[in-house]
């Protein structure tokens, strides 16, 4: 991590130095032009000739300024604790103790009985680490209504993404906005957008990115402590980047080409990946701390999940007769993959990291209709499902359904 931080820090410092040098050059050119014009200020003919000659230089300066504006992209990053590792540390007993070397035995800090009681409490409080996701089942917990008073239409939940256990960001296509959902208080903050959003992705706990594929743009927003959404900056991308995931300091997106594009955080293309199996891509999820990703493919010839590495090599595939249509993807803390089976009586398919079926969650559940997107909280084992289809009841369109895995 230190190596990665130093690399990004050096990249920022290099960019700042280049910008400072460019600023100096442009400033020098402007000063020269001012001096030349000032010398001719009382001589109309000479001033006219000189103005004509400097016009080319002014155009060059303008081009340089436009290029600099596009190049300005300082990485903002921070260390994010792994909640899973924190729970592991909290649940561990000390490795040992430092004692007087003349003693032949170590005095225990607590009796065996106290240790067993303590262990039982830890197991109860950190049961998230004791049980595999694949062993759990989903039970309806509640629903969160995300429709606001000034919404002009029912909600179409294009994507929901977990920022932290108490916050979820939602892209609402019909109402052309993003919504910040307070999970605990069931309150919704709204930010209206200029364009129709396709997806929202979490960059870090204080920033999210929203895609506008029709306009070939990605806009970044900051999240304040008061649950406010503020504009940060916007970047142009070379293609209709639809769904995206943020991986380290890169944007991984799918396009209608279809292909998977790996880009810098400023939108510059690093690598484009394509494969014969990629025909109609619906969503993407990147495996944390790896060079692997999953895509859901929904063509008539192949409906399922595909796993690739960052070189475009196909690693594994998932197909199932019960998988009618595929939509949203999510990866849990142990690598288990969740994929939305987009059907009226749809479900969530749970598959292994190597794309083997584990089971179906929420099949024939009264709270699920045409599940479009899904997100999972690794701290609370809560599952959030967004339902959407034009012909389902509005009570499914306007609410996030919350389930508890246990």
Question: Can you give the pTM of this predicted structure?
Answer: 0.69
pLDDT band for position 89 (50/70/90)?
low
pLDDT in tens, 336-361: 999 999 998 899 999 999 999 999 99
Q: Residue 51 has which token pair?
A: 């103005």
The confidence score (pLDDT) of residue 263 equals: 96
More confident residue, 118 or 247: 247
Report the range of poorest mean pLDDT among 49-53, 120-124, 232-236: 120-124
Average pLDDT for 34-56 = 72
pLDDT at 126 over 50: no
pLDDT band for position 121 (50/70/90)?
very low
pLDDT in tens, 271-308: 999 999 999 999 999 999 899 999 999 988 889 999 99
pLDDT band for position 103 (50/70/90)?
very low
* Mean of all residue pLDDT scores within the chain: 85
The confidence score (pLDDT) of residue 86 equals: 66
Tell me what percent of the residues of the chain surpass a pLDDT of 90: 61
pLDDT in tens, 92-102: 656 666 665 55
Tell me the β-bridge partners of 298: 303
Average pLDDT for 171-183 = 96
pLDDT at 68 over 80: no
pLDDT in tens, 374-398: 999 999 999 999 999 988 898 899 9
The confidence score (pLDDT) of residue 264 equals: 95
Q: Does domain 133-405 have CATH number 3.40.50.620?
A: no
Report the range of poorest mean pLDDT among 104-108, 112-116, 178-182, 367-371: 112-116
pLDDT band for position 41 (50/70/90)?
low
More confident residue, 198 or 7: 198
The confidence score (pLDDT) of residue 44 equals: 72
Tell me what percent of the residues of the chain surpass a pLDDT of 70: 85
| Full DSSP string of 23-89 | HHHHHHHHHHHHHHHHHTTT-HHHHHHHHHHHHHHHHHHHHHHHHHHHH-----------HHHHHHH
pLDDT band for position 91 (50/70/90)?
low
pLDDT band for position 113 (50/70/90)?
very low
Average pLDDT for 69-80 = 72
pLDDT in tens, 251-272: 999 999 999 999 999 999 999 9
The confidence score (pLDDT) of residue 374 equals: 98
Average pLDDT for 70-74 = 69
Distance separating alpha carbons of residues 209 and 215, to the nearest angstrom: 15
3-state secondary structure the chain: CHHHHHHHHHHHHHHHHHHHHHHHHHHHHHHHHHHHHHHCCCCHHHHHHHHHHHHHHHHHHHHHHHHHHHHCCCCCCCCCCCHHHHHHHHCCCCCCCCCCCCCCCCCCCCCHHHHHHHHHHHHHHCHHHHCCHHHCCEEEEEEEECCCCCCCCCCCEEEEEEEECCEEEEEECCCCEEEEEECCCCEEEEEECCCCCCEEEEEECCEEEEEEHHHCEEEEEEECCCCCEEEEEEEECCCCCCCEEEECCEEEEECCCCCEEEEECCCCEEEEECCCCCCCEEEEEECCCCCEEEEEEECCCCEEEEEEECCCCEEEEECCCCCCCEEEEEECCCCCEEEEECCCCCEEEEECCCCCEEEEECCCCCCCCCEEEEEEECCCCEEEEEECCCCCCHHHHCEEEEEEEC
> Any idea where the domains of the chain sit in the sequence?
19-70, 133-405
Average pLDDT for 323-332 = 95
pLDDT in tens, 189-237: 999 999 999 999 999 999 999 999 999 999 999 998 788 899 999 999 9
């Amino acid at each position: 991590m230190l190596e990665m931080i130093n690399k990004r820090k050096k990249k920022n410092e290099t960019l700042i130095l280049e910008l400072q040098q460019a600023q100096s050059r442009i400033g020098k050119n402007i000063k020269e032009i001012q001096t030349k014009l000032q010398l001719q200020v009382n001589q109309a003919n000479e001033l006219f000739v000189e103005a004509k000659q400097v016009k080319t230089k002014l155009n060059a300066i303008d081009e340089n300024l436009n290029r600099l504006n596009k190049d300005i992209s300082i990485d903002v990053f921070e260390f994010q604790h792994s909640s899973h590792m924190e729970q592991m540390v909290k649940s561990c007993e000390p490795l040992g103790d430092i004692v007087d070397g003349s003693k032949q035995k170590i005095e225990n800090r607590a009796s065996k009985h106290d240790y067993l009681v303590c262990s039982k409490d830890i197991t109860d409080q950190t049961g998230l680490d004791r049980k595999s996701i694949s062993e759990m089942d989903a039970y309806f917990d509640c629903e969160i209504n995300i429709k606001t008073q000034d919404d002009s239409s029912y909600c179409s939940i294009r994507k929901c993404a977990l920022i932290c256990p108490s916050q979820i960001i939602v892209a609402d296509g019909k109402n052309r906005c993003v919504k910040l959902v307070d999970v605990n208080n069931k309150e919704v903050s709204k930010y209206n957008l200029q364009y129709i959003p396709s997806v929202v992705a979490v960059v870090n706990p204080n920033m999210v990115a929203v895609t506008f594929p029709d306009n070939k743009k990605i806009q970044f927003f900051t999240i304040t402590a008061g649950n406010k959404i503020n504009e940060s900056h916007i970047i142009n991308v070379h293609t209709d980047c639809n769904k995206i995931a943020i991986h380290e300091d890169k944007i991984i997106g799918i396009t209608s080409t279809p292909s998977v594009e790996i880009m810098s955080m400023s939108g510059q293309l690093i690598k484009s990946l394509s494969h014969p199996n990629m025909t109609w891509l619906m969503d993407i999820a990147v495996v944390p701390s790896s060079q692997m990703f999953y895509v859901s493919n929904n063509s008539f010839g192949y409906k399922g999940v595909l796993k690739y590495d960052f070189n475009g090599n196909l690693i594994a595939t998932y197909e199932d007769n019960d998988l009618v249509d595929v939509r949203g993807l999510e990866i849990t803390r142990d690598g288990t993959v969740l994929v939305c089976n987009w059907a009226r009586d749809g479900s969530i398919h749970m598959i292994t990291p190597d794309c083997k079926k584990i089971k179906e969650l929420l099949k024939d559940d009264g709270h699920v209709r045409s599940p479009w997107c899904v997100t999972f909280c690794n701290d609370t084992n809560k599952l959030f499902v967004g339902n959407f289809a034009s012909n389902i009841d509005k009570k499914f369109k306007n609410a996030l359904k919350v389930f508890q895995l246990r």
